Copies of this chain bind each other. A is one copy, B any other.
Amino acid sequence: MKSFDKLTAALRRLPGVGPKQAERLALHLVRAPASESEALSAALREAKARVRSCAVCLDYTENETCRLCSDPGRDKSVICVVEQPPHVSALERSHGYTGLYHVLHGRLSPLAGLGPESLRTAELEARLKAGGVAEVVLATDPDTEGEATALFLAQLLKAYPVRVTRIAQGVPMGGHLDYLDEQTVSCALKARREFTAS
């Protein structure tokens, strides 16, 4: 049973996977056709080797800059700030936005000991210093940590001559961006409002 238990232990280390799910996953993988486990291994190897951060917005890409940052049709004067890469996909699926993005790869969470150092804001400031940006849309999640992150960013961005907006509270309080339907996300983007730290 040694290698079966090792597989269970390796799966158990994944976030949100408990002992029973790890066992179920291991049983499935041991029984599944070799093609399926090989596809998973290959996808994992490929992702580890190829996925990198876009040099401009920090979203995941396989090139120097991502598809959106390389697209001449996108409005380079607007930057939408999100917490994580999947949030870019969630906003893109809403078809309500034509600007660029900036991925923080984190959020403020004092309880979890995550302060400003856990946010990739230096890269955002560099983009603002380079000029040509008129508006920054704060699209962090509308929950406690996301609001705290938005407030922190609003304070930080006071130093730059840009309009700072926040996606509208069409998104329900306590919700998570990537669980919402496209229509809600689209409305929230369109109704974005001025946002300043008092």
Contact = CB atoms under 8 A, between A and B. Distances in A.
B10 A14 contact: no
Contact of A41 (B21, B45, B60): B45
A43 B9 contact: yes
Contacts of A36: 13
A119 interface: no
A30 interface: yes
A15 interface: yes
Q: How large is the interface on A (under 10, 10 to 19, 20 to 34, 35 or more residues)?
A: 35 or more
A10 B50 contact: no
Interface of A: 1-4, 6-7, 9-11, 13-17, 20-21, 23-30, 34, 36-37, 39-41, 43-51, 59-62, 66-67, 84-86, 89, 178-179
A45 B40 CA distance: 11
Given A43-B6, A47-B3, A25 B15 contact: yes
